[in-house]
Chain A
Amino acid sequence: MEEKINKSRRRFLIGSTTALGVVGGVGATVPFLCSWQPSDATRASGAPVQVDVSKLEEGQQVTIAWQGKPVWVLRRTAQTINDLPKLNAQLVDPFSSVDQQPAYADNLYRSIKPEYLVLVGICTHLGCSPNYQPNSAADDNAQWYGGYICPCHGSRFDLAGRVYKHYPAPTNLVVPPYYFKSDRVIVIGIGQNAKGEV
């Protein structure tokens, strides 16, 4: 019998085996890649936390952990609240048009009650935790009514977590979902809807 190589059959066999091999190979990597996602135990650490704000003095800030992240609760002074609108010209996003806060905190004060500011204390640049500097005059800003300065790359934020222009952080600090359980207690991790209901 004359030997004849069926090239098209060879090509088909090589092609189909390769294709199936690739599919199998990709499939085999799925468990390894998905294994890097946060586990259920990690996700559970994102459960809501409560803060009692009744003992906060004016101008005092507490830091608590939610999802392992630092969350600040600051009781602003009347002076601070009055100063906020004066800074608008120096800020990247004074009216919070970028979605970094829940709808109920989308106002001038970036909070439910002007007196209490709740922020995720992580710089929107590269994740360091900025330092609270209520008074100290900043070196190279004409107007500084207190705020936060990031130690890593120098980004500056005012006392509503709004970012100053000409610094690396692109957006305002994040306001986490929260609501007032009572006048004294804030719950962080669950939001209220627009009507003020939980």
Chain B
Amino acid sequence: MGFFSGLLDWLDERFPIKAFYKKHFSEYYVPKNLNAMYVFGVLAMLLLFNQLITGIWLAMSYTPTAAGAFASIQYIMRDVPYGWLIRYMHTTGASALFIVLYIHVLRGLLYGSYQRPRELVWLLGMTLYFIIMIEAFMGYLLPWGQMSYWGAQVITSLFGSIPVIGKGLEQWVRGDYLVSGVTLGRFYALHIIAFPILMGLLVYLHLSTLRHVGSNNPQGIDIKKHVNKKGVPLDGVPFSPYFITKDILAIAIFLFLFYAVIFFFPDGFGFILEKANFEPANPLITPVHIEAAWYFSPFYAMLRAITFSLFGLDAKFLGMVVMLSSVLIVFFVPWLDKSPVRSIRYKGYLSKCFLCVFVVSFLVLAVMGSLPVGKTTTWVSQLATLGYFSYFLLMPWYSRVEATKPVPERVSP
């Protein structure tokens, strides 16, 4: 017996590595018909890891004070060896993570990955997404540029719109009469310690619940129904090596694109690093054209779209409620979808139409949120907000009444 196999046995007696590897890799069976839409989960993991490592390195040279923050970013960009690369990996990584997550969620909506028995995987994933949004928002303040500052000012003002307790809550969140160095200090602590720990926990829960119920597939067929004598699904192949190989290919292609952006378009034409953020924060002057980071743009457009009061609640509070509900409503999809089939392939005409309406509305809102506010952008945003919500709110109706196609028993080759 060689030294390493001996060491492995010694470890295995004390901590069951071999059983773990079998359960989660070599004998974890994944549907054989997974397509390219199924690589975005592992890409999201890769990007979270990228954010963690580059974030630790950035924290080594960053100063979390109102006086020092902006200058320390310049120091990282100009003086720290490879500081520019590490920072661009972090900023581009944040944008890439949202692209990947939006496709990952769309995959879930397309193939009904949220349906029984995967409701908990969906809920934990959405919670993770919500926390990543807050994490990104807090990280955005740290460069202490004009866009950082006024973005934080707008979002913390949302607390102020809550009736009765709002004003006090707003001051409590900021620790000052308006966003200041005090706010920067607490956002920094939450951004680098509290939320990463929370995200790590949620990634663990998201993955372990997924491993327990197994992956869905583009046809939405339950592969556990047809097993051989050993209990191995006939339409499944082991995760290791088949899906690991596939994931590695996806990662290679992704990294090619990722570094192309980092090396040639690090500011993403003003979408990854906004122009106004090259100016230090000034609490007395708001830049003329302010917009949310592109990945919040659809939600920001919905906030702006509410320009009317209703039921005695003012537009400001309603805007916040609409924006918050637009994220929260996605949590409820497993219970809004009454369809007997999972995948869009077997759903009816209405489901397909509404999914298109949803995707188009989301993209239109993203564009509207990045344009200066005006009469046209306002009514287009209002229309798109209706489209966005109709997908969810009408789902119990259209998923029930439409005719579905029969789902095959076995996965097609």
Residues of chain A having any CB pair with chain B under 8 Å: 36-39, 42, 45-46, 63, 65, 67-70, 121-122, 124-131, 139-140, 150-154, 166-170
Contacts and interface: CB of A to CB of B under 8 A. Distances in A.
A37 B175 contact: yes
A56 to B, nearest CB: 17
Contacts of A126: 153-155, 157-158, 161, 316
B411 interface: no
A131 B177 CA distance: 20
Chain A facing B: main interface SS: loop
A151 B173 CA distance: 24
A168 B154 contact: no
Contacts of B173: 36
B283 A36 contact: no
B304 A38 contact: no
Contact of A168 (B153, B283, B319): B319
A158 B170 CA distance: 27
Contact of B307 (A121, A131, A166): A166
A125 B182 CA distance: 23
Interface stretch (B17-25, B55-63, B208-216, B285-293): B285-293
B156 interface: yes
A122 B373 CA distance: 18
B172 A37 contact: yes
Contacts of A68: 176-178, 180, 283
B378 to A, nearest CB: 8
B344 interface: no
Interface string B153-193: 11111101100000000011111111010100010000000
Given A38-B182, A168-B304, A65 B284 contact: yes
B306 A129 contact: no
Those 8 A-B pairs whose CB atoms lie nearest each other, nearest first? A127-B157, A154-B373, A170-B314, A126-B157, A67-B177, A129-B286, A70-B284, A128-B286
B229 interface: no
Contacts of A127: 153-154, 156-157, 160, 178
A167 B307 contact: yes
Contact of A128 (B150, B160, B171, B307): B150
Contact of B316 (A121, A139, A169): A169
Contacts of B290: 128, 151-152
A124 B307 CA distance: 13
Contact of A69 (B158, B171, B177, B285): B177
A139 B173 CA distance: 37
19 contacts: A36-B173, A38-B174, A38-B182, A39-B182, A42-B175, A42-B176, A45-B177, A46-B177, A68-B177, A70-B285, A124-B316, A126-B158, A127-B153, A153-B303, A153-B304, A154-B378, A167-B307, A168-B304, A168-B316
Nearest to A127: B157
A41 B294 CA distance: 36
Interface in B292-308: 303-304, 306-308
Given A68-B283, A131-B288, A167-B307, A122 B374 contact: no
B164 to A, nearest CB: 15
B245 interface: no
Given A45-B177, A154-B378, 8 more contacts: A39-B182, A125-B157, A127-B178, A131-B286, A153-B303, A153-B304, A154-B374, A168-B316
B14 interface: no
A177 B35 CA distance: 65
Which of A65, A128, A140, A167 gathers the greatest number of chain B CB atoms within 10 Å? A128
B368 to A, nearest CB: 12
B121 to A, nearest CB: 31
A121 B153 CA distance: 13
Nearest to A34: B172
Contacts of A122: 178
A68 B175 CA distance: 12
Nearest to A64: B284
Given A126-B316, A152-B286, A39 B375 contact: no
A64 to B, nearest CB: 8
B325 interface: no
Nearest to B161: A126
B390 interface: no
B315 interface: yes
A36 B170 CA distance: 11
A92 to B, nearest CB: 9
B292 to A, nearest CB: 10
Contacts of B309: 170
Contacts of A152: 150, 154, 286, 290, 373
A97 B316 CA distance: 19
B157 A151 contact: no
Contact of A151 (B160, B289, B374, B378): B289
Nearest to B320: A126
Contact of B176 (A38, A125, A140): A38
Interface string B78-115: 00000000000000000000000000000000000000
Contacts of B180: 42, 68
A70 to B, nearest CB: 4
A72 B186 CA distance: 29
Contacts of B308: 166
A11 B253 CA distance: 61
Contacts of B178: 67-69, 122, 127
Contacts of A151: 286-290
